Amino acid sequence: MKTAQHKPTSAYVHIPFCTQICYYCDFAKVYIKNQPVDDYITALLAEVAAENITALKTLYIGGGTPTALSSEQLDRLLSGLTQNLDLTELQEFTVEANPGDLSDEKIAVLKKNHVNRVSLGVQTFNDKLLKKIGRSHNAQDVFDNVAKLKAAGFDNITIDLIYALPGQTMADVKQDVANILSLDLPHVALYSLILENHTIFMNKMRRGRLDLPSEDTDFEMYNYIIDSLQDAGFEHYEISNFGKAGYESAHNLMYWNNAEYYGFGAGASGYVDGVRYKNHVPIHHYLEHADKQVVKEKLTLKEQMEEELFLGLRKKSGVNIKQFSEKFNQDFEAIYGQTVTELIEKQLLEKSGNHIFMTRQGLMLGNDVFETFLLDDD
């Protein structure tokens, strides 16, 4: 049995149900109608109970769409998850919500169950574009929900925004940014549309029927959004995340700091005792198996070092190379010195004291930078 201080202090809980299927989405999710939602919640709470967790610093309920559950189901889930927790330890409790699903009743359920951060899947404020990407809410839902959440006492609200959508123009992006700023929120997560396999958008693209902005426009949008958010007092503290002081996501920082965490629910990933695992998916496989974990991979030293770099470099503060050398008992300079020098010459990386961190250009080309840190197998 693990001693208390070695247990992870963060948990991710996956709710794989949605009230709509968005055209760009490749997450583990299904349309909620006729799904065994109550059985799923029962199995999920049993999976959590088996770990005997009494203290967490961060708890994150994602999906899918947690607010696709009914108010009663949401209440059973949240109260079940928190009933054995020492709530004085719980710093950040986030629930993802779809603006179209978030009723007054559900907001009251969130409040009652100690949720203190709500992540709204806004994507864009343009109703035509929302329809075009398969979302079921409209911009007015977002304004209404934010007002209601604030009235209920939620000040820590984050919204997801996607840019480079099909048919989107710079003027649309400027309007989205103006709307975000008018809401006066403390956190924004920003993503460029990525075409994933097995999505409606990928099928359309293959048939030549997706009108995406050019790479230049994509870059212009990216720069415009970053500049506008920074001018408005947001710090670009991670590749995709912007927060006002004190509102950086503690849960997400835990991932980027390469800490361990539990992952519960169908298709959820976790990292416990040096083992990265993934749970069964789809839902009926998850329900059928007593051992919920299907993939378990003990990381080698090389993999651990690579992950530390890939995750750490996502943050604006980057990686502390002295701490890296101490943590892994390796000489960072001897292993990565040459790579770092080359990336600095290409203006993708900067070094200051013991820290290396990406430039804006590096952040935009994230994966290309990460690849250069991959080590050859021995």
DSSP labels, 172-227: HHHHHHHHHHHHT-SEEEEEE----TTSHHHHHHHTT---PPPHHHHHHHHHHHHH
Q: Under the criterion CB under 6 A, does residue 64 sit at the interface with ligand SF4? A: yes
Minimum distance from residue 121 beta carbon to ligand SF4 (Å): 6
Minimum distance from residue 199 beta carbon to ligand SF4 (Å): 9
Q: Under the criterion CB under 6 A, does residue 22 sit at the interface with ligand SF4? A: yes
- Binding letters toward ligand SF4, positions 29-48, x by CB under 6 A: x-------------------
Smaller CB distance to ligand SF4: residue 44 or 309? 44
Q: Under the criterion CB under 6 A, does residue 27 sit at the interface with ligand SF4? A: yes
Going by C-alpha positions, the residue among 318, 310, 287 that lies closest to residue 374 is 310
- What are the phi and psi torsion angles at 52 (to 5°)? 55, 50
Q: Under the criterion CB under 6 A, does residue 66 sit at the interface with ligand SF4? A: no
- Distant-in-sequence, close-in-space partners of 273: CB < 8 Å, separation ≥ 6: 2, 6, 260
- Binding letters toward ligand SF4, positions 191-230, x by CB under 6 A: ----------------------------------------
Q: Which of 11, 13, 15, 25 binds ligand SF4 (CB under 6 A)?
A: 25
Whether residue 116 contacts residue 92, with contact meaning beta carbons closer than 8 Å, is answered with yes
Smaller CB distance to ligand SF4: residue 263 or 312? 263
Residue with tokens 């088996």: 50
290-299: long-range contacts, CB 8 A cutoff, minimum separation 24 = 292/43, 292/47, 292/264, 298/274, 299/274, 299/275
Going by C-alpha positions, the residue among 33, 15, 24 that lies closest to residue 160 is 24
Minimum distance from residue 92 beta carbon to ligand SF4 (Å): 21
Q: How many residues bind ligand SF4 (CB under 6 A)?
A: 11
Smaller CB distance to ligand SF4: residue 25 or 253? 25
Q: Which of 8, 63, 263, 265 binds ligand SF4 (CB under 6 A)?
A: 63
Q: Under the criterion CB under 6 A, does residue 158 sit at the interface with ligand SF4? A: no
Per CB under 6 A, the segment of 25-33, 101-109, 208-216, 225-233 that binds ligand SF4 is 25-33
**Amino acid identity for residue 45 in this structure:** L
Going by C-alpha positions, the residue among 77, 67, 167, 79 that lies closest to residue 126 is 167
Q: How far apart are CA 72 and CA 99, in angstroms?
A: 18
Cα angle: 138, vertex 144, 149; to 5 degrees: 125
Smaller CB distance to ligand SF4: residue 139 or 340? 139
Q: How far apart, in Å, are the Cα atoms of 181 and each of 156, 225, 299?
A: 15, 11, 42
Q: Under the criterion CB under 6 A, does residue 98 sit at the interface with ligand SF4? A: yes
DSSP, collapsed to helix, strand or coil, labels residue 10 as strand
Q: How far apart are CA 284 and CA 36, in angstroms?
A: 9
- What are the phi and psi torsion angles at 57 (to 5°)? -95, -35
Residue with the CB atom nearest ligand SF4 in the bound state? 25
Q: Under the criterion CB under 6 A, does residue 119 sit at the interface with ligand SF4? A: no
Q: Under the criterion CB under 6 A, does residue 126 sit at the interface with ligand SF4? A: no
Minimum distance from residue 134 beta carbon to ligand SF4 (Å): 7
Q: Which of 10, 58, 65, 73 binds ligand SF4 (CB under 6 A)?
A: 65
Minimum distance from residue 201 beta carbon to ligand SF4 (Å): 11
Minimum distance from residue 20 beta carbon to ligand SF4 (Å): 6
Residues of this chain that interact with ligand SF4 (CB under 6 A) are: 18, 21-22, 25, 27, 29, 63-65, 98, 121
